[in-house]
Structure 1
Amino acid sequence: MINSAYELSRRRHEKLIVFWYLCPELNCAFEELFQPLQDPDVKLINIRSLYDPRKLWYQLTASQRFGNEDILQNKTDGTLHEDFFQKLKKRVYIFTWEHFYPVHDYHFYVPTAALRKRIDSFTGQFAPRCTGVHIRRTDNAVSMGKSTTEQFIREMERELTAHPEGRFFLATDDASEEALLRSRFPDKIISNQNRTIDRNSVAGMHDALLDLYCLAATDKIIGSYWSSFTDIAADMRGIEKVIAGE
């Protein structure tokens, strides 16, 4: 979403202000995950409430406001319709969880030195070939119904048939899934076994970012249906992606 907003601001020759909302789904400041932004045309503000006065001021003084439904109705294949873009006024306020420009540039997001060190400790084990496996469970019923455990196992077996020397980096929010795959593929699974699953914590967000960057460093991803985590990990380096169950 930040990438989309940056592309929009670039096309409009305007500055971008991002409100990074710390909430139970992502309770971690931007700077605790990434190095500070270096672009003078982008300002990021961490907020802990949707009623933060700074956010409300920009929201109330904007010449135009639009939200998620407006984007859904005015985009095709992830791109805002040109007529909608042309009608935008100055000082636009956007509230959305949708992307609206297919931007594949992740230069904003440089992990902190401490997180980079942890990421490198795992990716150093990836040679000669490593396939990422992202199994989304817990709160994503759509993904669980489509990408079953059996389908992940089937894709992993295909991968080992083609590359017997390969290993897997596993990112999952379900410890029982990991235990099953470790028993099924002994000595083939690399993972952050001491991860914190709780998204309402800094430690949980650190471990989620570690999983994301490790997945992005693999040669191929076997991912979960209807998961932006899978999609972004593959998009970061343009690597091959296979969705279990499709």
Structure 2
Amino acid sequence: MLIIQPSGGLCNRMRVINSARELSRRRKEKLVILWYLNPELNAAFEDLFQPIHEPDIILINIRSLKDPRKLYYQLSAGQRFGNDDILNNKTDGTLNDNFYRALKKRVYIFTWEHFYPSKDYSLFVPTDALQKRVDAFTKDFAPRCVGVHIRRTDNAVSMGKSTTEQFIAEMEQELLAHPETRFFLATDDQREEDLLRSRFPGKIISNQSRTIDRNSVAGMHDALLDLYCLAASDKIIGSYWSSFTDTAADMRGIEKVIAGE
């Protein structure tokens, strides 16, 4: 049995779960997912996605690290690994063979690192209500829409590399090549949105009533909306060192340009 406790924000967790699913398939065993509700992501899995109906996957929502179910799975595991263990035992996003072969029958992993590259996001189907919200935005994407993801308030690495001026330059190039283009903007900074709306009048689509706080179900609903709208675009202009940018592009295999690279 493989027990995984994915950590971090929405996209980090999605990538970890995809990696764990691949690892459990290789090992031909059941997968237990411990979905921890905390300030980084304070919503149950089923608040965001349809329930998982794969017979070899069990998902448990936990609200405390002292939850008896969590402690049982963690303490009964023959091996327990943290984030540094996974980081130090993978190469190019894949677990090293010697580490993989040394895994025992019952393994517990806590990580925000993905450890098997996967483009299969079929486990993550938005709830009907959230899908309707996504559809309401994406109906305006024709004939061409480019997603723009600007990460600001909690990612200093991204801010230093992907500046506002670089996003503007990429967007101007898009309009020179394709004047009909509109942009779906996903950002955690209202000032960035105000600036881009003034710079590109009539070209910006966004969830203007969004809630930024991820420590709420409403905030996580809006994060998922942004993610799936970005994934529905024709191309993404994204932020450096952002799992949100990378996941949105990977979900449908669309072209991705990182501002500042």
- TM-score under structure 1 normalisation? 0.99
Deviation at 1:114, TM superposition (A): 0.3
Of 12, 17, 31, the residue aligned with 2:46 is 31
What is the Cα deviation at residue 102 of structure 1?
Answer: 0.4
What is the letter of the counterpart of residue 241 of structure 1? Answer: K
Counterpart AA for 2:192:
E
Provide the aligned C-alpha RMSD in A: 0.5
Aligned-pair distance for 1:51? Answer: 1.5
Match of 1:20 in 2: 35
The letter of the residue matching 1:8 is L
Matched, 1:105 2:127: no
Using the TM superposition, give the Cα deviation of residue 73 of structure 1 relative to its aligned residue in structure 2, in angstroms.
1.2
Q: Which amino acid aligns with 1:245?
A: G
2:6 aligns with none
| Deviation string, structure 1 residues 89-117 (Cα, Å, up to 9, x no partner) | 01100011100000110000000000000
Secondary structure of 1:134's counterpart equals strand
Equivalent position to 1:76, from 91, 100, 107: 91
Q: CA deviation at 1:72?
A: 1.1
Structure 1 segments of 4+ aligned residues over 2 angstroms from their partners: none
Name the SS of the counterpart of 1:105 in structure 2: coil
Partner of 1:64: 79
Code of the residue aligned with 2:148 in structure 1: it is V
Query: Which residue of 2 is the match for residue 121 of structure 1?
Result: 136
In structure 2, the partner of 1:235 is 250
Aligned twin of 2:151: 136
Report the equivalent of 1:86: 101
**CA distance in structure 1 between the partners assigned to 2:81 and 2:193 by the alignment:** 42
Q: CA deviation at 1:136?
A: 0.3
Of residues 203, 219, 240 in structure 2, which corresponds to 1:225? 240
Quote how far apart the aligned CAs of 1:52 are.
1.1
Q: Percent same amino acid at aligned positions? A: 80
Structure 1: how far apart are the matches of 2:217 and 2:89?
35
Per the alignment, residue 146 of structure 1 pairs with 161
Alpha-carbon displacement from aligned partner over 1:54-90 (angstroms, at most 9, x marks no partner) = 1111111111111111111111000001111011001
Partner of 2:4: none
The one-letter code of the counterpart of 2:208 is Q
**Residues 1:187 and 2:193 are matched in the alignment:** no
Which of 27, 46, 52 is the equivalent residue of 2:61? 46
The amino acid of 2:18's aligned partner reads: N
TM-score, normalised with respect to structure 2: 0.94
| Aligned-partner Cα distance in 1 for 2:253–2:154 | 27
Matching residue's letter, 1:138:
T
**Which amino acid counterpart does residue 118 of structure 2 have in structure 1?**
V
Whole-angstrom CA distance in 1 between matches of 2:73 and 2:51 = 22
Q: Letter of the 1:13 partner, please give it.
A: K
Q: Which runs of 5+ in 2 are unaligned?
A: 1-15
* Cα deviation, residue 24, structure 1: 0.5
Gaps of 5+ in 1: none
Specify the SS of the correspondent of 2:80: strand
**How far apart are 1:163 and its partner, in Å?**
0.4
